[in-house]
Structure 1
Amino acid sequence: MARVTDQLPDVLRDLSARDLIAQSTDLAALGADMTAGPITAYVGFDPTAPSLHIGNLVQLLTMRRIQAGGHRPLGLVGGATGLIGDPRMSGERVLNDADTVAGWVDRIRSQVERFLDFDGEYAARIVNNLDWTAPLSAIDFLRDVGKHFRMGRMLAKETVSARLHSDEGLSFTEFSYQILQGMDYLELYRRYGCTLQTGGSDQWGNLTSGTELIRKVTGSTVHALATPLITKADGTKFGKSEGGAIWLDPQMLSPYAFYQFWINADDRDVVRLLKVFTFRSLDEIADLAEQTASRPQARAAQRALAADVTTLVHGAAATEGAIAASGALFGRGDLAAVDEPTLAAALVEAGLTDLPVGAADGPTVVQLLRETGLAASLSEARRIVAEGGAVVNNQRIGEPDHRPAASDLLFGQYLVVRRGRKAIAGVRAVAG
């Protein structure tokens, strides 16, 4: 018996093969509509922070795949919904002022624009839901939109239900979010003939709010498609580092740190991440999976993943800089060839300690090892030096009393201190 996916257009078969379809209102009907001609699809991003993160990147790349499959994408930046915020399990959001949200709308709009093509037959379009929400009166909103929503269904949504039974409860402001998102879909259907909304599976209730509203108001059937939430093999949430979210903005997370996040992917996760976050063919990914199984120490899949995603988000030059810095820090390249912002970002990522390097009584290599945490004590640091394991700026140091001079500082302020091949730390020179 033929599987449903066998009858689908290429773009949906590709999404399915990459495990990017968690739920759909009617996959076969969506496939039929896509086969009949180009459709218009949208995905929304709320400006609840100054930047998108890699959870949002799943949606950006899904929309890019849909556009490559011959369909028209709409990127919605929620100037209106961003003023409210989608209810979270963790509790009520802090409401940001209108000027802050407006500034974030512009920043996020520019991020979305980098991933879509705005020329040709399937040209993308960016929209802001504040354009149709701001002129709407409260009475019109309640009469024309609110009357189509039933409390039972709204209360049954997982996040709403959980919050209602929590100590904090749920404000009417956040409770109304699903109505606003449903209204967005209706408005985009009317304005642009949009018949598909995509989002994460945690947004399923909001996605179907729109499909139900359109059916009630117009009698038409439209589609929703949810991608799975990406988790790690150990079951923990994907997309967080010790410093927080993995942001797409280079001012909030350096390209070097971004690259390192991907290069450190677990062998158990890397193949799935290649499917979701890169445009490599499934055959290429299968080959990388085989390399990971046979020679995991080479980390071929991780290197491909990190290079591809960093290039997508930050460009080829930033990726080359991150790769060069990564190699140079561990003695496989020239530290002098690494630009200062990349070096600084790399040392912050490794751990940066402020010390009076270059002063007459500045730290010795033994003290550097202890103060940076590469050695637990001065005696251990002396042993590391005696065994040939102390390296400063890729130069092996054999004398425990060696005191780096001001002339040794990279860009006049940094040292790269290494213990053996893999343990690394940064030092920034400060006045004694």
Structure 2
Amino acid sequence: MSSMTLPLRAITALFFLSATAVASAQDCAVYDEATCGNQLYSADATRLQQWCEQGTGVACSGLLREWVSEARQADTRAPNDDPDLQEPAVCKEADPAYDEQACEEAAKAALSKAMGMTLTGVFDQREIVLPTARLEALQALCVAHPDGDFCREVAEEQWKAGGFAQAVAALQLSCRSGDERACELHAPLQALGGAPRPQPATSVPCGEYRSEGGLLDTLDFGDGGLVGLGLGAQARARLEDGAIRLRHDKGGDFVFQTLPGGRLVGMDEWTRMRVFQRAGGKAQCAEAVVFNVVPLPRDCPQAASGDGAAACCKAGSLQGCNTLGNQQALAGDWVKAAGSYLQVCRAGVREGCENLASAQENSAEVDARGQLQQLCEADRSGRHVACDVVATRNWTLMELGRALQDAAEESSKDDAPAPSRTRNHKR
């Protein structure tokens, strides 16, 4: 769980699944933001495909997003019919009931429920892969109408599905259309001399690897699986199901596979299609440390409802304590949240330790670093997951970030205008 200071639009976009309206009949084949912007936002897939076939690049991108959304909603793992996760009228700016503050409260409630549903296994982090027929249709549209953004997006979908040659072809079309990001991705892949074929990794690398551009441009693999990411940031590498995984501080992994010539290539949403070339560094590294990690149990079915999490936590449920910590964090009580997370971390659950670190990121009253260090030292094997979290967090940058956030909030309070009335909300 990361910082809760998300913008309102980001919260609603993440946790409300909006229904798609049907656009009016106006022809937006020649895109004009003033007349077509709202229509493209609300159009169904049929209309978007029609406009895309007529050469409207933004409609092509809209079609791709619509098909991804449909695939996600068709996925039986997703709770798409849950009314609490649908966008309410108070969040729709065109609705007379729109109320920004009420929307924010609804978004927080949805966020809390989504967290609980994640912990009960309703959500997971597996990516949605489009059906073959739709990937082929998108590829054909990219060839016919090689808009830069759209073709790069098609390349990303192809790569996720294992269509590596198609991905490179779409990137090339995007690059020729003037998309600099596509050119940046395409050149290293093209230099391989053939279609890229990512292969399962058999060991954690050693030494420094570099890439041109992107979120990460340096991976410095060292002893024990520690990886320097630049600017003082570190991660821990592990080998899992043929992939080299680096846990990052947002709860997910950077994922890499190998390419011919000792290269690495990114497979996750942050590093996808980026090629990392060996650039020196250590020739031999001590074996990567394998930490003792306990999976978060699903032992509190009622965690997402009412006082269920608190009752479960009191009864010794780790899932209940983790969910209770999330609820306390959403309420802004990071000290109590840290206490709940500590119980989960002590049991060896990674999520609890990472959430405990996030509590310090949000409150100067929490000494997560000290607590994690104590747990690590108490475990004489040095393999408690707290040892990994305390070693890989960039505590200095975390403190700086919190200080800047606190300063920005104080400045915002000083500059805030006097409360005003709206037709939907009275103060």
TM-score bracket for this pair, using the shorter chain length:
under 0.3
Higher relative contact order (CA 8 A, sep 6+): 1
TM-score by length of 2: 0.22
Larger Cα Rg: Structure 1 or Structure 2?
1
